[in-house]
Amino acid sequence: MPAQLAHAHPPYAEQGYYAAAPLWQRGAARDLEPAMFRCWIRPLEIVMVEDGLAVLSAPSRLHAEWSQSYFGSVILRSLQKQLPDVSRIEVTVVPILAEKESVLEAATW
């Protein structure tokens, strides 16, 4: 296999699975391997943006902590492309959204 295809990213976020992602997530899709994007970024939802802070909801505490720690800079850059006034993020668990995610997962198994 040619070297340039060995770690090829998807043809940017405008096609396939990524087309359903919110605009702010599409920038992150360009910076991450597809599996990392699907696992860690795609489940996040913007809860509020106020005074330069974007609050995102994750389905669990582990997900929130991991996303903030390991992907915080990617998430922030991606958000800033759509919302230039955002200067920081906080990833947290919002119980209603986490419960919705659990119900959806149970329904797909």
At residue 94 the predicted structure's pLDDT band, cuts being 50, 70 and 90, is confident
Per the structure, the complete domain to which residue 78 belongs is given by: 3-108
Q: Which residue has the higher pLDDT, 51 or 102?
A: 51
Q: Which residue has the higher pLDDT, 109 or 45?
A: 45
Task: Indicate whether 86 pLDDT > 90.
Answer: yes
**CATH number of the domain that residue 41 is part of:** 3.30.300.180
- Mean pLDDT within 82-98: 84
Q: How many domains does the chain have?
A: 1
Task: Indicate whether 97 pLDDT > 50.
Answer: yes
Q: Which residue has the higher pLDDT, 9 or 56?
A: 56
Of the listed ranges 61-65, 84-88, 100-104, the one predicted with least confidence:
100-104
Kindly state the tokens that stand for 48: 């509020």
Question: Phi, psi (5° rounding) for residue 75?
Answer: -60, -45
Q: Which residue has the higher pLDDT, 10 or 64?
A: 64
Distance between CA 101 and CA 95 in Å, rounded?
10
pTM (predicted TM-score): 0.69
Long-range contacts of 18-23, Cβ-Cβ distance < 8 Å, separation of 24 or more? 22/46, 23/82
Q: Which residue has the higher pLDDT, 105 or 79?
A: 79
Distance between CA 11 and CA 8 in Å, rounded?
8
Distance between CA 89 and CA 46 in Å, rounded?
10
